[in-house]
Structure 1
Amino acid sequence: MYFLNGDRTYIKPENGCKGLSLQLQNCLEQLEKINSGKRIFKLNFFVDTNSNSEYDKLLKDLRIQVKELIGSEILISFISQAPLSCKVIVEAYYYDPENWDCQMLSEGENGTALFLNGTTEILMGTVHANQNSDCKLNAEKAFDELVETFEEAQFPLNSIVRQWNYLEDILGFDGEEQRYQEFNNVRSDAYGKAFEQSGYPAATGIGMSHGGVLIEYVAVKSKEVLTQPVDNPDQISAHQYTEQVLVGEACNLKTTPKFERARYFRYRNKKLIFISGTASIIGENTVGVGDAAKQTEVTIQNMQRLYADEVLAALPDEVANPKFGHTRVYVKNRKDFTKIRSVVKKFYGDLPVVYILADICRDDLLVEIEGKVILS
């Protein structure tokens, strides 16, 4: 993580033509070499799984192997999204132990790490609920765990600055209720009025094949930190969407997605913008229906608006030289991968990118992109 004087690195299998177990083993072998020079505290595994039983078994086995390899418990997210070039990709996050003290507050599927530097506290972790097939019940369980974690760590809920929400079968239905809309309703209830003054977190809401509901978060408690929402003038804020773009009957509960388009974050001399999962939406309507290349172009232009000169000029700090960093590109249909990758390369060249096969939160959206911008 940049603000922890570290960053992230991607591990891809060197034996990409082999089966999943061999690819995973190869990634772990590479991880062992990387860990000898960096202090890794979190691993994200993006894995192509065929069932929830396979998902659960792989996750259990991986936790054992990683603990043996690292020598201590670290944060693990096991995300059932198929990489588009192999069967597994690993994101490894590391930090600088000379500047930050790291304490594991809890382990396992609801792992929590606390980073301390003077009076600054940063809480990072995962909550996971895969008890049944009902999205609402899993979401309620996950947010109950989230609220409890924050209470035990003595962090206010509105200290969350970045969040990732992974939903199994995001566009599916439980009876007459769409699963993403159910998740949004539960999130709205859990948040209550906590974010009314500070604005919501930057966030990504994205589909995965198996695994129930998985939530990752970054929260900050410090008088040395300044953070605030960043808006795209061309888009209506997601939390202000009208009923017309929310799925469900008029008589049913339909709350809006509670996140900001982006969020500015400054800690001492480190300044960045967390860019939420972004799609081809102008106002609140999808643009480029059926055209993956057009949607990718509009998506990137939407992201660029979030660090355009007039937006940066409105920030409370003097900033310059925005540099777009690591990014994930979520692709709805494998057949669109080549077209989407071509547009991303046109805009960002050889930027480190992970391409993931994942369903997007609207039927007509074909691509979603997230990232961060480093400022000086």
Structure 2
Amino acid sequence: MAAVAFRSAPASLDLAAGHVAMTVPMARPGEPGHLETWWSQEPPETGSAGEILYACGDEVAFCAATVEHRSVYAPVVERRYREVFAFLESHGYRRLLRVWNFIETINAANADGLEVYRDFCKGRADAFSAHPEFYRSMPAATGIGTTGSGISFFLLAVKDAEVRHIENRRQTPAYEYPERYGPRSPSFARATAMTTRPGEAPTLFVSGTASILGHETVFAGDIEKQCATTADNIAELIADCYGSAKGLTDADTVKAYVRHAHHVPYVRAFCEEAFGPRASLAVFNVDICRGDLLVEIEAVV
């Protein structure tokens, strides 16, 4: 369905032979980058709808879009998201499963003095508000910085699979954050579990997770304690989905986002120990959605 290359290159989005080909600027010069592929059991239908590209199977749709650099992002982010939502609704993909957002200069101020991440969140939330079916069922998501320009995002949606969006009892739901975090709250759940067949164990998509308890950052400036708190938050989500049957070491894929380059070796070693050798691990040195967060980690179990 799709091949997403995280590397040191400008953002790009194209249709290749039978799939969507996307480049997200996430690696630094000289770093190897990372390639992520998404597959369907049958050859997908690919194409474009407005400014978005898609690859659709019988059950799952992959949609992606880019936004060139803007001095203010909210209006165009809203338009792109509304294009995606309209496409999904018209083709019967009624449940959002997982979303990834990659945002340039995420902690900088836009032309109106609003932080770019909060600018992005406003556009995304306005689009959700215009589509009640998706607004009532926000999915797992990541919103993270990039090493390039503009905004890129891609998502997965499903037709009939059972989807359960999960909140963390240790954290305030992001969509209920107080106004101090921006004009519109972030639009995502802490995790999403998908079950495709009755009696089958679900697949758990854990959102980008950080050292947040309630709605506040904890252990500012302490990479070790932020990593430990982040892992505890992920473990809580896994326990909600699987009980005691699974834990951190059952993760199949893990991505870690690290603000400072000198913390990358520690975070890599922490993830290797916490999640174990089974997990495929990618680590990126990029900015994070809050200036006091040093690390963010996501996973698929």
Given the two structures, how large is their TM-score scaled by the length of structure 2?
A: 0.88
Does 2:120 match 1:177?
no
Q: Which residue of structure 1 aligns with residue 6 of structure 2? A: 46
In structure 2, the gaps of 5 or more residues are none
Q: Which residue of structure 1 aligns with residue 299 of structure 2? A: 371
Q: Which residue of structure 1 aligns with residue 194 of structure 2? A: 265
Cα distance, 1:286 vs structure 2: 0.9
In structure 2, C-alpha distance between the alignment counterparts of 1:137 and 1:352, rounded to whole Å: 36
Any idea what the Cα deviations from partners look like across 1:340-367, whole Å, max 9, x if unmatched?
1222122123232001111100000011
Residue 296 and residue 48 in structure 1: after superposition, are their counterparts in 2 closer, same or farther (change >3 A)?
A: same
Residue 276 and residue 154 in structure 1: after superposition, are their counterparts in 2 closer, same or farther (change >3 A)?
A: same
Q: Name the SS of the counterpart of 2:290 in structure 1.
A: coil
Does 2:301 match 1:354?
no
Whether the 8 Å contact between 2:79 and 2:127 is mirrored in structure 1 is: no
In structure 2, C-alpha distance between the alignment counterparts of 1:347 and 1:229, rounded to whole Å: 24
Any idea what the Cα deviations from partners look like across 1:287-334, whole Å, max 9, x if unmatched?
1111112211111111001012x6535xxxxx9445211011111110
Residue 337 and residue 84 in structure 1: after superposition, are their counterparts in 2 closer, same or farther (change >3 A)?
A: farther
Rg larger in structure: 1
In structure 2, C-alpha distance between the alignment counterparts of 1:144 and 1:230, rounded to whole Å: 24
Whether the 8 Å contact between 2:77 and 2:123 is mirrored in structure 1 is: yes
Q: Which residue of structure 1 aligns with residue 271 of structure 2? A: 344
Q: Which residue of structure 2 aligns with residue 35 of structure 1? A: none
State the one-letter code of the partner of 2:151: V
State the one-letter code of the partner of 2:87: T
Whether the 8 Å contact between 2:67 and 2:150 is mirrored in structure 1 is: yes
Residue 205 and residue 275 in structure 1: after superposition, are their counterparts in 2 closer, same or farther (change >3 A)?
A: same
In structure 1, C-alpha distance between the alignment counterparts of 2:7 and 2:289, rounded to whole Å: 20
Q: Which residue of structure 2 aligns with residue 189 of structure 1? A: 126
Q: Which residue of structure 1 aligns with residue 101 of structure 2? A: 165
Q: Name the SS of the counterpart of 1:194 in structure 2.
A: helix
Does 2:44 match 1:115?
no
Q: Which residue of structure 1 aligns with residue 164 of structure 2? A: 228
In structure 1, the gaps of 5 or more residues are 1-40, 50-54, 248-253, 314-318
Root-mean-square deviation (CA, aligned residues, Å) is 2.5
Any idea what the Cα deviations from partners look like across 1:113-162, whole Å, max 9, x if unmatched?
1111xxxx211120212164432244134224323432443434xx1111
State the one-letter code of the partner of 2:259: K
Whether the 8 Å contact between 1:135 and 1:212 is mirrored in structure 2 is: no
In structure 2, C-alpha distance between the alignment counterparts of 1:81 and 1:109, rounded to whole Å: 22
State the one-letter code of the partner of 1:185: K
Whether the 8 Å contact between 1:264 and 1:271 is mirrored in structure 2 is: yes
Same amino acid, percent of matched pairs: 27
In structure 2, C-alpha distance between the alignment counterparts of 1:168 and 1:109, rounded to whole Å: 19
In structure 2, C-alpha distance between the alignment counterparts of 1:210 and 1:369, rounded to whole Å: 20
Match of 2:33 among 88, 95, 106: 88
State the one-letter code of the partner of 1:174: N
Cα distance, 1:278 vs structure 2: 0.3
Match of 1:274 among 192, 205, 225: 205
Any idea what the Cα deviations from partners look like across 1:223-282, whole Å, max 9, x if unmatched?
xx21112121111111111123x04xxxxxx11101000111100135111100000111
Q: Which residue of structure 1 aligns with residue 179 of structure 2? A: 243
State the one-letter code of the partner of 2:203: L
Given the two structures, how large is their TM-score scaled by the length of structure 1?
A: 0.71
Match of 1:103 among 45, 51, 55: 45
Q: Name the SS of the counterpart of 1:169 in structure 2.
A: coil
In structure 2, C-alpha distance between the alignment counterparts of 1:356 and 1:338, rounded to whole Å: 11
